[in-house]
């Protein structure tokens, strides 16, 4: 992958993402609010019946902000922002409702120059995610709603859509989508594997490894690059009985899990907040320090992991070496944590 010298000219739809398009509703809350709804700091969960009131309450907060969200959609958007030109290098598939929030998501995707093709339905409203911000922590509660209605046969399988999938060279799907349409993920993953293209996935949240381990492990043989953070890595290791809490060892054991396409060695990349990012580079596990940032400059860590992946993917589609991909990931995550939500300035300042 070391074509650092000559830039690969990018074409439209080179990067394909599929996931849960959500509208983030972010507000600064206090500890009482978290306790009231039984939320943990820095957790990501799916909304249950008793969270209904949370969504009604959070919009009443004095400083509520709405941002286009959803983990995979954030990542492809950041990748497109890092790439800048040409537009529409990134494609995104997901399901929304025919409603105001759906319209906002369409508009935001267009403004980000992402080629979004949503499956639109009337059964459920567009999904939302309550981002409850306390200091530099965030607790996310996702109400998937429409996002949960994605149908492989009604969208992914349509010729015009599948053609867009085939155009891509790099694929990224967050683990969150395993709760929605594992069949869609497998179809894309197998296509990538059979055509020696790069399929990337994310552990996304501890609950994925805990409660969706079966679909996760069905996709794992097709995963060329696996992302995750230190908490997700630890949970994954526990679920698979790795019997270690050493992050480098977890990365190595994950790299060595069975793999379909043996032409590509699996790469595992674990971020650890302000601590070094851990990545398997060939046979070695390497530590990459993140960019320094003053605590007072951190506004909101929501979207930091998504931004890291987005930056990484923007270099990966240019066929840059892994060190470069990680440097780009660290840069974009550093930009995003200085701002509310997964938002970014007009242009990146990355060389």
> CA-to-CA distance for 338 and 296, rounded, in angstroms?
9
Number of H helices, E strands in the chain: 12, 14
Q: H or E stretch including 92?
A: strand 90-97
Q: Is 32 a catalytic residue?
A: no
**Taking Cα atoms as reference points, which of 111, 184, 101 lies closest to residue 144?**
101
CA dist 161 and 315 (Å) reads: 25
CA atoms within 13 A of residue 61's CA, in its CB half-sphere: 21
Q: Which residue bears the tokens 């060389």?
A: 351
3-state secondary structure of 13: coil
CA distance 245 to 132: 29
Catalytic residue chosen out of the listed positions 24, 136, 300, 306: 306
Q: Are 279 and 270 in contact (CB under 8 A)?
A: yes
- Cβ atoms of 97 and 106 within 8 Å: the answer is no
User: Are 2 and 321 spatial neighbours (Cβ–Cβ below 8 Å)?
Assistant: yes
Q: What are phi and psi of 67, to 5 degrees?
A: -140, 145
First vs last C-alpha separation in the chain: 19
- Token readout for 147 is 């996002």
Please list, residue by residue across 289-303, b when 16 or more beta carbons sit within 10 angstroms of its beta carbon and e when fewer do. ebeeeeeeeeebbbb
**What positions carry a catalytic annotation?**
306
């Amino acid at each position: 992958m070391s074509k650092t010298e000559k830039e690969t000219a990018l074409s439209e739809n080179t990067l394909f993402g599929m996931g849960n398009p959500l509208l983030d509703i972010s507000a600064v809350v206090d500890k009482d609010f978290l306790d009231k709804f039984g939320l943990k700091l820095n957790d990501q969960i799916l909304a249950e019946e008793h969270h209904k009131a949370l969504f009604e309450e959070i919009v009443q907060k004095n400083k509520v902000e709405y941002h286009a969200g959803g983990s995979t959609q954030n990542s492809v958007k950041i990748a497109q922002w890092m790439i800048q030109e040409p537009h529409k290098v990134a494609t995104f598939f997901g399901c929304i409702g025919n409603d105001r929030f759906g319209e906002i998501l369409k508009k935001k995707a267009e403004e980000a120059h992402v080629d979004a093709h949503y499956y639109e339905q009337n059964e459920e409203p567009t999904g939302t995610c309550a981002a409850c911000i306390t200091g530099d922590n965030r607790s996310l509660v996702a109400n998937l709603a429409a996002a949960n209605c994605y149908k492989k046969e009604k969208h992914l399988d349509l010729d015009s859509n599948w053609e867009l999938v085939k155009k891509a060279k790099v694929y990224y799907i967050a683990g969150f989508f395993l709760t929605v349409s594992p069949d869609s993920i497998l179809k894309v993953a197998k296509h990538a594997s059979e055509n020696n293209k790069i399929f990337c996935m994310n552990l996304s949240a501890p609950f994925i490894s805990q409660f969706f381990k079966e679909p996760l492990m069905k996709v794992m043989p097709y995963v060329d690059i696996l992302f995750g953070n230190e908490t997700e890595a630890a949970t994954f290791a526990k679920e698979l009985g790795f019997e270690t809490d050493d992050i480098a060892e977890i990365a190595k054991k994950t790299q060595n899990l069975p793999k379909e396409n043996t032409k590509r060695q699996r790469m595992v990349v674990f971020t650890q907040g302000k601590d070094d990012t851990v990545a398997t580079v060939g046979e070695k596990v390497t530590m990459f320090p993140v960019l320094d940032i003053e605590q007072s400059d951190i506004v909101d860590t929501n979207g930091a992991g998504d931004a890291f992946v987005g930056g990484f993917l923007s270099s990966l589609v240019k066929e840059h070496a892994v060190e470069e991909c990680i440097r780009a990931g660290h840069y974009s995550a550093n930009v995003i944590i200085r701002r509310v939500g997964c938002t970014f300035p007009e242009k990146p300042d990355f060389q």
